[in-house]
Structure 1
Amino acid sequence: MKKILLTLTLGALSLVGTALSYDKELAKRFNGMFSQMTPEVLRQRPCQITTQQLLQMIQKGEDFVILDVRTPAEIAVVGPTWKNTLYIPMHELFKEENLNKLPKDRKIVVVCHTGDRAAAVVTALRALGFDKAFQFRGGMTELAKEVGRAATEYVK
């Protein structure tokens, strides 16, 4: 009976040890990405563009790229038709051939449905050296609301 109890206890302890372990190399890579996001940086929100800012950029004729990282199914429903739009789903973006399509010398406004995926993509792109990558805050959902209200003020 003691042998069985000892075996069960050792087995349980080994499972707990396994459950508490993690991929240390992957953690180092995440640390490299997220260590940039200090409280000072987050307070300034330098990586975000609002709907009004985007529409003003269009009105002023600024040279920038919209990067839509939604799935093809999402884009089929509704998507930006801005002349400088790249459609690369998030799950394919970090392939070398797709990263090579991104400019390093112009703003990249990353768009998704609500802004959540765009935030993750911008964090990764900035870690890779794309310093002009910005999250479109609120995503297509927010854009649809604002454009429905006041697009004629910005886009002619």
Structure 2
Amino acid sequence: MRTMKRAVLALTFGALSLVGAVFSYDKELAKRFNAMFSQMTPEVLKQRPCQITTQQLLQMIQRGEDFVILDVRTPAEMAVVGPTWKNTLRIPMHELFKEENLNKLPKDKKIVVVCHTGDRAAAVVTALRALGFDKAFQFRGGVAELAKEVGRAATDYVK
């Protein structure tokens, strides 16, 4: 009986250890994510300080502002359609955080991050800002929104 209790205890302890391992997480990585996302308070998100709309982008072009468009879409997406602004960098999201690619990004100019719909751009901007690229902005709506708006109003902004 005593041996059976020990076996049950050992089995229970082993199962609890396994459950603990399954539900554990990388605490250091969680701390880094906390440092990034803790800045995104409801007050900050309400102001949308990290976003640029199509209208704002077209006004920046019209005013002759010096900025960079960073296209983070896949090479296949870039091959179909994309921004042709003179200061466009095309670095897919899956390659962006390599040291040689981060070194291509300016720290002294606005960086407008573009993807297809704006979702990947939001993630990239969060990471870039955490790395110190304080002038990184998500292009809200992505290339899809840009194509719609440019089709309607480009002649009002770009001559």
Misfit runs of 4+, over 2 Å: 2-15
Unmatched 5+ residue regions in structure 2? Answer: none
Please point out which of 102, 113, 117 is paired with 1:114. Answer: 117
Higher CA-based Rg: 2
Please point out which of 62, 75, 83 is paired with 1:59. Answer: 62
- The residue aligned with 2:77 is 74
| 1:65-96 Cα deviation digits (max 9, x unpaired) | 00000110110011110000000111111111
- Match of 1:54, SS state, is helix
Amino acid at match of 1:130: F
CA distance in 1, matches of 2:152, 2:24: 51
Please point out which of 101, 105, 115 is paired with 2:104. Answer: 101
TM-score by length of 2: 0.91
Mapping for residues 2-151 of structure 1, pairs under 5 Å: 9-151=12-154
CA distance in 2, matches of 1:5, 1:149: 72
- Match of 1:86, SS state, is strand
TM superposition shift of 1:51: 0.5
- Match of 2:107, SS state, is coil
Unmatched 5+ residue regions in structure 1? Answer: none
CA distance in 2, matches of 1:54, 1:47: 13
- Match of 1:67, SS state, is strand
Equivalent pairs counted in the alignment come to: 156
